[in-house]
Amino acid sequence: MSKRDELHQFPLYQKAEQIYKITRGLVEIVPADNEFLQETTVRFMMENAMIIPAKIAGAQAVELYDLKMENATIIRKAARELYVQVGSLRFEEAISDQDYIHLLRKEIDEFRLLFIDWVAGFDVWNYIKDSWGLFNPPGVNAHDKDPDDDIPFNPDDFLNFED
C-alpha cells in the first residue's frame, strides 16, 4: 500500500476530509451578496478547513516528535478557529439552515477525540531537541545540552573530499 493510500485510510485524515466537505457545503449557503460574511467568515473557514488535512499529511510524513507536534499545533489552532467561526454563523439571519452549523461542530468535536489519541501516539524518543523550547518531548528542556553535540563529525571523512 502506498503512503498516499495509507493517509487516505487514516481515520483522522478521513474526518478532516469530512470537515472540509461539510465546510464547503456550509459556505455555499452563505449569501453571495453578503460581502462581510464572504470576506471574513467564509474565507477564514475555508482556509482553516484546508489547513487541517494538509497538516495531518505533513505530520504523517515525518517521524520526528518535534515536527509532528508543530503540525499538531497548527491543526489544533485551525480546528478551534473553525469551530468558533462556524458557531458565529448561528447568529446570522442570512443563514436559515442551521443544520450545517450543528453538523460541522459535531464533526469537529469527533475530530478532537481522534486527534487526542493521535498525538498521544507520537514517539517521544524520536526527536531533535527544539532549541526554541516549544516542541520538546516531556523531560527535555531547551536549555539542556544537545546530545548530538557529542557526536564527532568531520565532513571530510564522511564525504572523502580530497584537496
Model confidence over 69-101: pLDDT tens digits? 999 999 999 999 999 999 988 888 877 778 889
Q: How far apart are CA 55 and CA 111, in angstroms?
A: 14
Q: What is the rounded distance in angstroms from the CA atom of residue 122 to the CA atom of residue 37?
A: 38
What pLDDT, on the 0 to 100 scale, is given for residue 163?
A: 54
CB-CB contact of 122 with 69 (8 Å): yes
Summarised one tens digit per residue, pLDDT across range 113-158 is: 999 999 999 999 999 888 899 999 998 888 888 777 777 777 677 6
DSSP 3-state percent helix, strand, coil across the chain (nearest 5): 65, 0, 35
Sign of CA dihedral 67, 10, 5, 25: negative
CB 110 within 8 A of CB 11: no
Query: For residue 100, what is its C-alpha cell?
Result: 450545517
Number of independent structural domains in the chain: 1
CATH of the domain at 76: 1.20.1440.60
Residue type, 27: V
Tell me the CA distances in angstroms from 71 to 48, 60, 113, 137, 142, one per residue in order: 13, 9, 17, 14, 19
pLDDT at 56: 98
pLDDT digits (tens, 9 = 90+) for 22-71: 999 999 988 888 888 888 888 999 999 999 999 999 999 999 999 999 99
Q: Quick count: other Cβ atoms within 10 Å of Cβ 57?
A: 17
Domain residues for 93? 3-159
